[in-house]
Amino acid sequence: MTAVSSMAPIKRKPKAPAASRRRPSGNLLGNIGIAAMLVFALFPVLWFIYTSFRHESDIIARSTSFIPAGFTFDNYIATWNQTDFPKLLWNSFVTSAITVVLSLTLATLAAYSLSRAKFRGNGALQAGFLAVRIVPGVLLLIPIYMLIQQLGLLDTSIALALTYTTFTMPAALWFMKGFFDALPVDLENAARVDGCSRMGALFRIVLPCVRPGLAASAVLVAIEAWNDILFALLLTSSDDSRTWPVGLRLLIGEFQLPWGQLAAATVLSLLPVVVGFAIAGRSMVAGLTAGGLKD
């Protein structure tokens, strides 16, 4: 009895909750639903990538065939060497870069002022910026064209960048204001006590803390400027300033529709976007998730 009573009690492994022992049928259905949505969303992209490697005769004869007669790089070679598409991609890059610099600079300064300064009419001013974003761009085609013409900026990348900034800056402003509102004011107050000016605290303390927001805003602004065709078609008339969406449209002739070259040009125009997401994707996701949090 003594030996038995002196033995340490045996610890039994706690039983798992009943919910965890059940078959995860809900998770399985959720995964199937997500997979179906991914297939639905990615199938068009995969299809034109597949089309870009097919012969033109094969595309016309068997447009919906999943088994091609052969693969070729002729569409990419013809698009790159026989058209001005490389120049158009460069124009899009220059225009998007100028737009990002202008939009982020103006939006960051304005958003910081609206977030920190308390004055009468602050809410109305924010609503005014939002109203600019709500107005459809097609309604402003004629006024913007007349303004750009009077400034002598027609058929230039600066004209496109200024036009895009008009519509991208309000969205970037609202986005950055969420980050500034979530940042404690005590950080700036401590910097100002140590001798920093208001602008010094902004550039040394605040902006390094909101870098995810800057990256996310830059990506969103760049994508909008990269993909626009409405204003690019209106304000440009030569390959010196045309962007790739306009060039893609000009590939379609009156009596021809080069499906292979169109698909190849689309793939080439997507590569910079994919590279940009690969570089700034993590910061963008962090920015999109952190911008809505506030202590």
- 46 and 140, same domain (yes or no): no
Q: Is residue 237 part of a domain?
A: yes
Coil/strand/helix, residue 229 = coil
Give just the sign of the alpha carbon dihedral 19, 21, 24, 27.
Answer: positive
18: Cβ contacts below 8 Å, ≥ 6 apart: none
Please indicate, yes or no, whether residues 119 and 228 belong to a single structural domain of this protein: yes
Residue of 260, 234, 283 lying closest to 74 (CA atoms): 260
For residue 22, pLDDT over 80 is answered with no
Q: Quick check: is 18 in a domain?
A: no
Residue 295 confidence (pLDDT) above 50: no
Query: Residue 260: its pLDDT value, please?
Result: 86
Residues 49 and 126 in one domain: no
Same domain, 102 and 215: yes
| Domain-terminating residue out of 39, 72, 105 | 72
Residue 4 domain-assigned (yes or no):
no
3-state secondary structure of 295: coil
Phi-psi region of 182 (alpha: psi -120 to 50; beta: other; left: phi over 0): alpha
Q: How many domains does the chain have?
A: 2
More confident residue, 45 or 129: 45
pLDDT at 280 over 80: no
Instruction: Report if residue 176 sits inside a domain.
Output: yes
Q: What is the pLDDT of residues 201-233, one digit of tens each?
A: 888 888 888 888 888 888 889 989 999 988 999
Q: Which of 11-15, 126-130, 215-219 has the lowest mean pLDDT?
A: 11-15
Would residue 5 count as lying in a domain? no
Read off the tokens for 239. Answer: 């390959």
Domain with 58 in it: 25-72
DSSP code, position 64: T
Decide if 3 is inside a domain: no
pLDDT in tens, 153-201: 999 999 999 999 988 998 899 888 888 888 888 888 888 888 888 888 8
The answer to the question of residue 17 being in a domain is: no
Instruction: Clarify whether residues 58 and 196 are in a common domain.
Output: no
The reply to whether 271 falls in a domain is yes
Q: Are residues 40 and 183 in the same domain?
A: no
Q: How far apart, in whole angstroms, are the C-alpha atoms of residue 184 and residue 289?
A: 18
Kindly indicate the confidence band of residue 258, based on its pLDDT and cuts at 50, 70 and 90: confident
> Are residues 215 and 182 located together in one domain of the fold?
yes
Residue-level pLDDT at 161: 94
Indicate if the pLDDT at residue 9 is higher than 80.
no
Amino acid 294: pLDDT: 46
Shared domain for 194 and 230, answered yes or no, is yes
Q: What is the DSSP string of 157-208?
A: HHHHHHHHHHHHHHHHHHHHHHHHHHS-HHHHHHHHHTT--HHHHIIIIIHH
User: What's the Cα-to-Cα distance from 208 to each of 68, 187, 285, rounded to whole Å?
Assistant: 51, 12, 17
Question: Does 282 lie in the same domain as 252?
Answer: yes
Domain boundary among 16, 37, 72: 72
